[in-house]
Amino acid sequence: MLITALYSLLSLPIQRGYWIALTALLVLKPDFTTTFTRGVARLLGTMLGAILTTLLIVVVHPTPPILVILDVVMAYAAFSLLLANYALFSVFVTMEVVFLLSFVIPQPLVTVEYRAIDTAIGGIIALVIYRIWPTWERRYVANNLAQRLDVLRRYFVTVMSAYVNPSSYDDALLHKLQREARLSRSNTNASIQRSLQEPRAHRIDAEMAQGILNASDTLAQSFVALQAYLIENPTHYAFPECALFANQVDETLLKLATALRTSQPVGVLPDLRATLNALKSPHAPEAKAVRAEQSVVYAEARRIVDAVNVIAQLLVTHLGHALDIWF
């Protein structure tokens, strides 16, 4: 709107000023890397496209039938390359637009000139605006990591409730939470990678972010393994000792997610090691199936505690707070 107002109200000697606004709209993206690369690619591609179009017009002097062929070829090339190379897309889309407008305005060289000028102005304005009012990905990484921990803890609590009370197993809910966990993983990883491509002064702490993401992957793997056991053993025994462990892991992950969002101290966390030891000796009949279930749960619980410990230690180290962590 600002750019449209500028070329409308200032009566600038510009034809098709909407190309300026359109270029700025296409260049501006939520993250620095995409905005910068698309801006440069758009400018270079448009300039090269304008030069090639000028050469074709001067050398070939295309007739209307030739213009139709050229327009179809350029349109096909442009949209074939849209997702592969934005600079080449800009080259061919510039040529396609000029050839298309030649049917309405038989002055292609003038159209080329205005296309190049408007695109250059729009691209430069977009880059200047982003430089003045940037959106750095670092501000979103911590929240994405926290969101991942929130999704995982809901998934974990749902899985463990089925160990405590076998009749509460909800296959549809668990698959829904599993999909949410995969989506949160993709979003978080993409956010970290975008941040690492930004200027060094604005990057996230790579060691902390990647370490937390890797530890959360370990949590997810254990949760999936625990769910897989339930699927393979639908008539498993009740394991009430899991309730305390599930509640404490839930509390711990909630505190860690809150610390990520607020950059505040983690605080004192539950004694997961002691609760883990209690899982070794459940009050249940010493049947073979019970011992097998106990072995599976204990093995994965130990991995869960280790992964949670890694996340907590990373937060303590990188947030600069020496806190009481009981495990």
DSSP state letters, 191-219:
HHHHHHTS-GGG---HHHHHHHHHHHHHH
Q: Does residue 55 sit in the same domain as residue 191? A: no
The string of pLDDT tens digits covering residues 72-126 is 999 899 889 888 888 898 889 888 888 887 777 777 777 777 777 777 777 777 7
Average the pLDDT over 246-268 and give the result: 89
Domain final position from 115, 132, 149 = 132
Task: Please state, rounded to an integer, the average pLDDT across all residues of the chain.
Answer: 81
On whether the CB atoms of residues 256 and 150 are closer than 8 A, the answer is no
CA pair distance 61, 66, nearest whole angstrom? 9
Domain final position from 104, 132, 160 = 132
Q: Does residue 193 sit in the same domain as residue 246? A: yes
Q: How many domains does the chain have?
A: 2
The string of pLDDT tens digits covering residues 205-218 is 888 899 999 999 99
Q: Does residue 172 sit in the same domain as residue 302? A: yes
Range of the domain at 176: 138-319
Quick one: pLDDT at residue 51? 85
Quick one: pLDDT at residue 230? 87
* 307: alpha, beta or left? (left if phi > 0; alpha if psi -120 to 50): alpha
Q: How confident is the model at residue 167 (pLDDT cuts 50, 70, 90)?
A: confident
On whether the CB atoms of residues 211 and 204 are closer than 8 A, the answer is no
Q: Does residue 167 sit in the same domain as residue 279? A: yes
Tell me, yes or no, if the pTM score tops 0.85: no
On whether the CB atoms of residues 162 and 155 are closer than 8 A, the answer is no
Q: Does residue 63 sit in the same domain as residue 156? A: no
Q: Does residue 142 sit in the same domain as residue 126? A: no
